[in-house]
Amino acid sequence: MEFYRNQKKSNQLVFIYIGLIVMLAAILLYSTGIIADAYLPKAAVISGIGLVVLIFCLIKSLIAAKDTSPMIALQPDGITSRVTPVSKAAGLISWKDIEDFSLTEMGADVLVTLHLSNVDHYKGIISKKLSKMAVSGGLDQNGHYMVYLTASHIDCNAEELLAKINAYNPKNK
């Protein structure tokens, strides 16, 4: 079972980036004195930095939107995911290592949390691909390593994703 990028959500994100870029460009033009006779150095620096960051994010989003590979794949031997940096770095997460699933609210997003045994294996793989900060902590009260999956990039919400993962899980059959 595979879950692909939701093109509507990707397009909305691109339009948000474009709107913010236009707004920051106007602030930059105003604060540098091109539109008005006022020179505001702090506003110029902040809007300039914001503009560069948002242009970088826009380019990344446009490149990612062309990618047609699955964001999450449920396979007989495990789960592969590209929806968060940690899940992408983990590679194939074996069904035998998944002890539990849960939903976790973080900010405005609801995430599917995979509680993994074999902590040293996954921490080692993830720390090779990401910094040590990304793998420090991350344990639940039972000592299982937590990897989060977001449904914000795919066609279903977190509750539906969790239900589909539970239905596909070979341990439940």
Which mean pLDDT values do the consecutive 10-residue runs of the chain (173 residues) have? 83 91 93 82 92 94 83 87 79 85 83 83 72 60 80 82 83 66
Helix axes 41-65 and 7-31, enclosed angle (nearest 10): 160
C-beta of residue 78 within 8 angstroms of C-beta of residue 92: yes
Number of domains making up the chain: 2
pLDDT of residue 173: 60
137 & 81 share domain: yes
pLDDT of residue 82: 83
What range defines the domain where residue 162 resides? 72-172
135 & 159 share domain: yes
61 & 82 share domain: no
Cα–Cα distance, 16 to 33 (Å, whole number): 26
Q: Give the containing element (helix H, strand E) for 129.
A: helix 119-129
- First and final CA of the chain: distance in angstroms? 16
45 & 104 share domain: no
pLDDT of residue 1: 82
pTM: predicted TM-score of the whole model, two decimal places: 0.70
Q: Which of 31, 65, 99 is the last residue of a domain?
A: 65
Cα–Cα distance, 121 to 123 (Å, whole number): 6
As beta bridge partners, residue 112 has 103, 149
Q: Which of 50, 65, 80 is the last residue of a domain?
A: 65
38 & 109 share domain: no
